[in-house]
Structure 1
Amino acid sequence: MVVGIGGVAVGAEPGAGQPGRAGMGRPTRRELTRGLFASVAALAFAPVVAASRPVPPAGAPAGTSFDETYRGRRIRGALVPAAERAVDGGEWQVTVDGRPLHLMRRADGSWLSMVDHYSSYPTPLAATRGAVDEMGPGQRLRDPAPGHMHMGGDHGVRA
């Protein structure tokens, strides 16, 4: 703002310098309405944003679960802690469309799935996504026989 002759502002916004108007520390009705509308919009979208984020199990540290849709398939995984497994802290239980997918930890710390024995992945999530990539659009994982973890034979395993 430039002050002209006699202390009159030259080139100032309309209403600036008047009591109760913008520029004097008090917002206008339009500014209050915009702020109120923005707050209401943020509150309206908060549940949508919160619902779109996967929620880890209670008390679980970050990186111990995932739940997402990948290439049209629902993939879920959670690290189930086991006291007797001190080496890696537990076992991953993973499902693709509700059917179990067995993951194995390699000696170098990478992961592989029962669907593809030849590829290694840095995380269980990456291994699960790799298994989905290897499965055809119409293929589904089969439920293993009770007490039988090896899924050899004609079960869609590429070995």
Structure 2
Amino acid sequence: MNKITRRQALGTTAGALTVLGLAGATAYAADTDSRAAISAGNAGPAGTARTAGTAGTIDEVYQGRRIQITPATGGAHHGGHHSAGLPAVRIDGRELHVMQNADGTWISVVNHYETFSDPLSLARAAVRELQGAALVPMGGM
């Protein structure tokens, strides 16, 4: 009968804890980077105009579309369907449904198979993908 030794059990446990620690550190770093991007100054790529707002708020025009990102408020998101803590992302006043993956990357219903490092780059990619089409609400099809 094969029995696991104490040394093997401790080695396996140490390896698992190391992986969990690295995953947590990576998620924390990605979250910190995305928060920094949300609260960044008025600099943006060519074709953008950003208006300074309250701390952590982004209001810019990108390729002729208005992107507004407000930080999470702590209340329920999307009428209570999802957990709190997600920023509100709007394109031309219509909410873009965003989700944060376990690794700290972001996806949306417009770019569901492509991940982004922060909500602003996600919103800009959604504007490019929409190609001038209006953003349709989640239940509006």
Structure number with larger C-alpha Rg: 1
Q: Kindly, what percent of the aligned residue pairs are identical?
A: 37
CA displacement, residues 94-151 of structure 1 (integer Å, 9 cap, x when unaligned): 11011110110011101111111011111100000011111122x1012344xxxxx7
In the alignment, which of 90, 93, 97 is matched to residue 95 of structure 1?
90
Map of 1:107 onto structure 2: 102
State the SS of the aligned residue for 2:88.
strand
In the alignment, which of 51, 58, 68 is matched to residue 76 of structure 1?
68
Map of 1:56 onto structure 2: 53
Map of 1:48 onto structure 2: none
Cα 1:143–1:89, aligned 2, differ >3 Å: closer, same or farther?
A: closer
In the alignment, which of 106, 112, 117 is matched to residue 112 of structure 2?
117
Q: Return the offset for 1:83.
A: 7.2
Consecutive unaligned residues in structure 1, runs of 5 or more: 1-51, 146-150
CA displacement, residues 76-96 of structure 1 (integer Å, 9 cap, x when unaligned): 010123179xxx982211110
CA distance in 2, matches of 1:101, 1:83: 17
Map of 1:10 onto structure 2: none
Consecutive unaligned residues in structure 2, runs of 5 or more: 1-48, 77-82
Map of 2:59 onto structure 1: 67
In the alignment, which of 128, 134, 139 is matched to residue 140 of structure 1?
134
State how many pairs are aligned: 88
More helix, by proportion: 2
Greater relative contact order (CA < 8 Å, ≥ 6 in sequence): 2
